[in-house]
Amino acid sequence: MRFFKSSAWMTAAGPIAFGVAFLAPLIAQSLEAASLPAPFGLERLQFGLGLGLSLGVIAALRGRWV
């Protein structure tokens, strides 16, 4: 018995959730550790969220990370 009839939306949301929940803080902390400012006048976390979300959407559309 399945909880959801179709897991297509869960499959598509996985890379996006990974990009926002894991990559965004990682990017922000990497910028902080390297003492680099975020581009475009954004905060480091804002830049990390934008980049992580973008990478997650690209991975979801392509179906793979590489």
Give the integer Cα–Cα distance in Å for 11 and 9: 5
Question: What is the value of pTM for the model shown?
Answer: 0.81
pLDDT value, residue 4: 57
CB neighbours of residue 15 within 10 Å: 21
Closest alpha carbon to 25 in 47, 54, 41: 47
Domain locations along the chain: 13-62
Closest alpha carbon to 24 in 50, 48, 53: 48
pLDDT digits (tens, 9 = 90+) for 9-61: 667 789 999 999 999 999 999 999 999 999 999 999 999 999 999 999 999 99
Give the integer Cα–Cα distance in Å for 14 and 56: 8
